Structure 1
Amino acid sequence: MCIRCGKKEEETWEHIWNCDDNDATLDEIARELIYKFEEFLNTNERMKDIAILRDHNVNIITILEERSNILLGKNRIREMLRGVFNDKFNKLTKVKEEKIIIKECWNFIYNEFKNRIWLPRCEEVERLEKEKGIQKQDLKKKRKRESSIEEGKSEESIKDTKIKKTNENVKKKQKKEFVKNINIVTRDRLIGSVTDGINIEYIWDMTTKIY
């Protein structure tokens, strides 16, 4: 369940960007950011770059809102969220200076998505988890338990599996200690024989050894 919006659905990558608790939708943010990027250029008195942006801003938004060929059923904003710079942006112009502004605009939008959705989400989730006394370890256990239940395992079955695994680990440890002790005894016997002047070649096959 999403701890932010309270919906009873898994908090997947998809839900993070569509969560009702987000400041705005991805499409809304993308449209706003073109103008926000222009304001950024204006603040830095980059008038020539503003002219370039205005020549391409509609095409930039169009490309972002088009259907993705690699993420079926999604638009190219989803590609951007995964760091994919679609080649269509490169084909908007052949002029080097214009390509630079388009790429800068892409980076600006990408960072704004992160700053307006991803980072606030992380901070809010962390705050809510602390408020409810939830630790990461608890979440991992919960996900593991839920996953096992979905696979048809009961709570009792999960406990039995844990006990069985613990017992197996104990047996392995005991066996390891046993082998270690035998090796020590074997070594000491052979060393003792050498010390007594006995050639171990004659007693090698009669000495218990563990490999």
Structure 2
Amino acid sequence: MAVNTGDFIKDILDSISKIDYINPQDVPNIELYMDQITTFMDNQLEASKRYPDDKILTKTMINNYTKNKLIPPPVKKKYSKEHILLLIFIYYFKNILSINDIQNLLGPITDRFFNSSNDFKLEDIYNEVFSLGEEQVNVLKQDIRDKYSTSQQTFEDVPEKDREFLKSFSFICLLSFDVYIKKQLIESLIDELPAKQAKKDKKSSEGQDK
């Protein structure tokens, strides 16, 4: 029985409307052991699993993130709320970025705002950037509709038995190209970060010398 692609796309768009992020208020304010963190993340992000047996976060992952300095080490085997916020960032970044890119992106954030004594904290950054996602939902949904509509206009001259598959292939290619271009842009922006910071540090140093 053929899949009704239109109904499938409608289901996808409906699911996008329900996308949410882990509210900082839902992150425990007490320090947690590793087992407690993996359970928390699995419960909170269960809806994002592709397959039921997928793991959102494992002990091995956390140990590797600490080893690669993506997150600061725990204190007496306990992780703070800020550790969890960083792990959430990593969860989303790791699907499109290399470990090295994540290091370059999160390193300055961790250095300046992890356990910061300033009024502006890591939790404030988390709130700000994830709130942007809510504003982008309708834009994203319209973009998907447009790409789907474009894909349905392709391969009209091929035999009917192949047409549906090729239209779906065309739709996937359009979505993939969009991801590819954005990934290239993200990587370019990350590559510029050290140069921008060096320039800022130089300017700050010159100001102090005067």
Q: Same fold (TM over 0.5)?
A: no
Looking at CA atoms only, which structure, 1 or 2, has the larger radius of gyration?
A: 1
TM-score normalised over the length of structure 1: 0.25
TM-score normalised over the length of structure 2: 0.25
Greater RCO structure (CA 8 Å; 6+ sep): 2
